[in-house]
Amino acid sequence: DLSHGPVEALFTATEETGMDGANGLKSGMLKGDILINMDSEDEGELYVGCAGGEDATAKFSFTEVPVPAESIAFKLNVTGLKGGHSGLDINLGRGNANKIFFRVLKEAYKVCGLRLASINGGNLRNAIPREAFGVVTVPYATADKLVGLVAGLTTIIKRELSATEPTLKIELSKTEMPASLIDEKTQINLTHAIVACPNGAIRMSDSMPGLVETSTNLAIVKSDNEAKTISISCLMRSSVDSARAELGSRMDSVFT
């Protein structure tokens, strides 16, 4: 018995795995000028609003350089994190494997002269990364110092995240010598950018207490030794368009 104008209903498929349905929508198919987004995660509940999303993608090109003589190679792995959806779970304070990996890397470069050969952190742009794997080298003379440094940082970071990430592991193990390393200048720039990159809930809503207004997730950091590139993927979200644009500008500054 409600009086209303014409209603169009649009249902799209495979949102999480590529937005194929939305990308297949042809221009001019819909006539309305007001959209109510009824996306939801739970049976019987509908959302009537949603944060807008935007991708931030950065790429570093590197030069392969030889491994210095008298070096030893290690695998550096960050595992055991809970991960989660970068929209629904971003307010839970969970650890980000990429941020933890490069926190360790920065200290180890400064103290032990650690060099990076490869990095493979995270795998989905809308998932909080649970794992990051890398191959690194250090001079034989600082190998014991590296083992101690990683153990000390592991204790500190596990203590910081004890409530949210009780199964976090940061592990160092000897491995085969890599064929080459990422050049030192690129390693330094990459490390500074990842350490400085915003991550997590950036601002809570003023009008709806407990709701995240603006957030970002440092989802993927992956090197490709064939293409000699390192790709970084972040997914930014905000229910305020101007805030999302400002966060994008901040990302641009960090990676530039």
Q: Say whether 117 sits in a helix, a strand or coil.
A: strand
Residue 247 φ then ψ, to 5°: -65, -40
Find the distance separating the first CA and the last CA of the chain, reported in whole Å.
58
Task: List all residues 6 or more positions away from 215 whose beta carbon is below 8 Å from its beta carbon.
Answer: 51, 86, 87, 90, 91, 200, 201, 202, 236, 237, 238
How many other C-beta atoms are found inside a 10 Å radius of the C-beta of residue 243?
Answer: 18
Cβ atoms of 93 and 204 within 8 Å: the answer is no
Alpha-carbon distance of 29 to 200, in angstroms, equals 36
pLDDT tens string, the chain, 256 residues long: the values are 888 888 998 888 887 777 889 899 999 999 988 887 777 778 888 776 677 889 999 999 999 999 999 999 999 999 999 999 998 899 999 999 999 999 999 999 999 999 999 999 999 999 999 999 999 999 999 999 999 999 999 999 999 999 999 999 999 999 999 999 999 999 999 999 999 999 999 999 998 888 899 999 999 999 999 999 999 999 999 999 999 999 999 999 999 9
DSSP state string for 210-222: T-EEEEEEEEEEE
* 115-152 tens-digit pLDDT: 999 999 999 999 999 999 999 999 999 999 999 999 99
